[in-house]
Amino acid sequence: MRISHMTYTRVAHKITPPALVARAHSEGIDKFLFDHHRALLAKAQNSDSPMAFFYDLEAKKLFQQLQAGSDHEFYAAAHTLAAKLVGEMDGRMEPGLLICLRIIDGNTRSAAVLKLQVVTPNSAILERLDSGEEILEAVTDVLDAPGELQKGTLVDDPRIGSDVVVGDKLTKDALYFPRALGIRTEARAREGTAELVTAVSNRLPSLTARIVDALPSVEETAPAEVLATISAEVPELTDAVRSEIASVLEQQQRPVRRIDPKAPLKQVVRAGAISINGPAAAMRSVTWERQPDGQWRITIDVPEEPVREYR
């Protein structure tokens, strides 16, 4: 495995990226970047990265140029992607270092775009001298460790049906990063369960409890197929209703294309600054009704005596 092309630039709100050129890199830096590359691949293979696809053909072409274009095309594409990312950043997004790579491993070429951030302004390393003596050396502005990458993308993706690996340190990937690169991420299958129940509840709230009860008996598959299977027990899920719900799920910011019906499903009830949450089936014990004075009274029926905690 080797890095044939590498460049980087600082990205932040209102910064104008300079023309990008080849950057020198040492064996130690290569190992650091290889580890990031492997961590992104592992996320895809372990289903920790959402399926993702290019919705912008121009952006897809830029990644193709990173992966296999000429020297000029690689650095021009890297500059364009950096400019696109800066264009999506505002004062809320953390500044970072955007690194664009082409990695060659045997007959395979892959392209990676990594946004690294300073996670430790001041740190230290233990360095071993040729004499065998160990000394402590100060280092500053330590970047993300492999596996803890703030934002990153990798092509090509080994998964069937996904164009690109998108990594994000957040549990739910930030939308601005893939959007800037012309990428749309799908909802993870385990997240799709809650999205499906929400869509049903918005359309036919009286069916929600029956849908929740039926889900665990269904295998992971596409929303339309999950709904079709459940319709045997819930005939109110007609062809028209199922089609409407599947369309709603497809049109979300993160399209829902896979459902994991066995994923744990929670429900949250919010009332002002108070929130009550728990497994969806258990939350049926939570009810509320409007009082004559216009206030709302929440009732929770449970077999155990409640306890109070402060956090």
Q: Determine the pLDDT at residue 172.
A: 60
Q: Determine the pLDDT at residue 133.
A: 76
Q: Determine the pLDDT at residue 139.
A: 59
The closest alpha carbon to 287, from 273, 275, 269, belongs to 269
Distance between CA atoms of 29 and 32, rounded to whole angstroms? 5
Mean pLDDT by 10 residues, the chain (311 residues): 91 90 89 87 82 91 94 96 92 86 91 80 66 69 62 85 82 77 88 90 89 89 91 91 92 89 88 90 89 93 89 83
- Residues 8 and 109 sit within 8 Å (Cβ to Cβ): no
Q: Determine the pLDDT at residue 143.
A: 59
Strands 151-155 and 108-116, by their bridges, are antiparallel
Distance between CA atoms of 252 and 254, rounded to whole angstroms? 5
pTM: 0.74
- Residues 195 and 50 sit within 8 Å (Cβ to Cβ): no
Q: Determine the pLDDT at residue 125.
A: 60
Task: For residue range 104-144, list pLDDT tens digits in order.
Answer: 988 888 999 998 876 666 656 667 767 777 776 665 655 56
Q: 1-22 burial, b for 16+ CB within 10 Å, e for fewer?
A: eebebbbbbebeeeeebeebee
- Residues 186 and 50 sit within 8 Å (Cβ to Cβ): yes
Distance between CA atoms of 22 and 152, rounded to whole angstroms? 20
Distance between CA atoms of 265 and 278, rounded to whole angstroms? 9
Q: Where are the domains of the chain?
A: 2-116+146-185, 189-250, 266-300
- What are residue 99's phi and psi, to 5 degrees? -115, 130
Q: Determine the pLDDT at residue 191.
A: 86
Q: 83: exposed, middle or buried (C-beta count within 10 Å: 0-12, 13-18, 19+)?
A: middle
